């Protein structure tokens, strides 16, 4: 099986042509591929296949634990770069179908290569209310959070110092809290000023990652809701920076890089893969 490895601000993915043989890998096989020591190593696997709606392709994104996600902001940028540079979709504007709906994408091109990608992430959904919610943990702690959706679920927790945030402990607890029947991504956000926010993300089905595109958008939307942000913010993550903005129609836009790391062929004797 041929694969391509990409990252977007440190959030890394295996990209596979889902049109080949018309099949997808099983969750155990995806989990095996994403293992850092015995597989390729990644935060997730992206399959692209033909769209039934007229879009340039359909994206399916699976987390490192084999579960399927609705959308991935860093992943869709990587896929857009792959389509342009490797698959002959030579368009500076394209549409990619996801389980969270079709996403409009604009590419910046220099000397035939993609140097930047802007994704229209749509309008954030606060599920009828933008008020903070109180999440009570089994330990008795009560956390003030903001819950919203960008096609996938997010829970934003503002902290005083993102470096000191208890991500490893609170992340998995909040992810699987009964309030979130489909689990949730958890954002630990620190506002520096009206134009800059620092962020760490515990991703559903993965753990803490170097970056999360939809998480950056969710944190920005939550900061706007609290009156702490204007029309645009630079979101600093451990893997790099993303530029998030809101247009006059309420749509969030995410702009950031995507990088091809390497390509290869998976051995049928790969430990873990053949046992999956």
- Tens of pLDDT along 227-273? 999 999 999 999 999 999 999 999 999 999 999 999 999 876 655 55
CATH number of the domain where residue 159 is located: 3.10.310.10
Residue 270 lies in a domain: no
pLDDT at res. 93: 98
Catalytic-residue membership of 72: yes
Q: Are residues 171 and 117 in the same domain?
A: no
Residue 189 lies in a domain: yes
Angle among Cα 90, 239, 160 to the nearest 5 degrees reads: 135
Residue 128 lies in a domain: no
| Spatial CB neighbours of 17, under 8 Å, sequence gap ≥ 6 | 2, 47, 48, 49
Q: Which helix (H) or strand (E) holds 115?
A: strand 113-122
Instruction: Report the half-sphere exposure of 226 (CA within 13 A, side-chain side).
Output: 20
Q: Considering the entire predicted model, what is its pTM?
A: 0.94
- Dihedral (CA of 258, 260, 266, 271) sign: negative
Residue 107 lies in a domain: yes
Q: Are residues 147 and 223 in the same domain?
A: yes
Q: Are residues 208 and 238 in the same domain?
A: yes
Catalytic-residue membership of 78: no
Q: Are residues 149 and 236 in the same domain?
A: yes
Q: Are residues 81 and 189 in the same domain?
A: no
Which of 34, 57, 72, 217 is flagged as catalytic? Answer: 72
Domains in the chain, number:
2
Q: What are phi and psi of 96, to 5 degrees?
A: -125, 125
Q: Are residues 63 and 102 in the same domain?
A: yes
Which string of b and e fits 46-70 if b means at least 16 CB within 10 Å?
bbbbeeeeebbbbbbbbbbebbbbb
| Residue spans of beta strands (DSSP E) within 123-239 | 133-136, 142-149, 153-158, 185-193, 196-203, 207-209, 232-237
Q: How many CB atoms within 10 Å of residue 9? A: 26
Q: Are residues 66 and 7 in the same domain?
A: yes
Q: Which helix (H) or strand (E) holds 213?
A: helix 213-225
Residue 82 lies in a domain: yes
- Dihedral (CA of 138, 143, 147, 152) sign: negative
Q: Are residues 145 and 223 in the same domain?
A: yes
Q: Is 91 helix (H, G, I), strand (E, B) or coil?
A: coil
Which of 34, 57, 212, 217 is flagged as catalytic? Answer: 212
Q: Which residues of the chain have pLDDT under 50?
A: 130, 276
Q: Both tokens of residue 140?
A: 């008795």
Q: Are residues 91 and 198 in the same domain?
A: no
Q: Are residues 152 and 118 in the same domain?
A: no
pLDDT at res. 45: 97
Residue 199 lies in a domain: yes
Q: Both tokens of residue 169?
A: 């402990």
Over residues 190-202, the pLDDT tens digits come to 999 999 999 999 9
Residue 33 lies in a domain: yes
Q: Are residues 109 and 141 in the same domain?
A: no
**Residues of the domain holding 156:** 133-250
Residue 114 lies in a domain: yes
């Amino acid at each position: 099986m041929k694969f391509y490895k990409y990252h977007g601000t440190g959030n890394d993915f295996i990209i596979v042509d889902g049109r080949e043989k018309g099949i997808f890998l099983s969750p155990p096989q995806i989990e095996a591929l994403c293992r850092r020591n015995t597989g390729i190593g990644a935060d997730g696997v992206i399959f692209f296949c033909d769209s039934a709606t007229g879009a340039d392709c359909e994206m399916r994104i699976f987390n490192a634990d084999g579960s399927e996600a609705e959308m991935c902001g860093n992943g869709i940028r990587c896929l857009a770069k792959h389509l342009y540079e490797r698959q002959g979709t030579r368009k500076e504007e394209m549409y990619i179908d996801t389980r969270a709906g079709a996403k409009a994408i604009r590419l910046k091109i220099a000397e035939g290569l993609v140097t930047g990608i802007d994704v229209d992430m749509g309008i954030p959904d606060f599920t009828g209310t933008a008020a903070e919610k109180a999440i009570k943990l089994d330990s008795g702690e009560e956390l003030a959070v903001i819950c919203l959706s960008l096609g996938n679920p997010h829970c934003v927790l503002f902290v005083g110092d993102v470096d000191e945030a208890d991500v490893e402990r609170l992340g998995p607890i909040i992810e699987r809290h009964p309030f979130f029947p489909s689990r949730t991504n958890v954002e630990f956000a620190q506002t520096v000023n009206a134009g800059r926010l620092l962020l760490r993300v515990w991703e559903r089905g993965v753990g803490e990652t170097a970056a999360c595109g939809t998480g950056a958008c969710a944190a920005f939307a939550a900061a706007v809701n609290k009156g702490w942000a204007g029309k645009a913010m630079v979101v600093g993550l451990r893997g790099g920076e993303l530029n998030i903005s809101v247009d006059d129609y309420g749509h969030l836009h995410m702009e950031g890089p995507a990088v091809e790391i390497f390509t290869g062929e998976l051995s049928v004797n790969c430990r873990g893969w053949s046992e999956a």
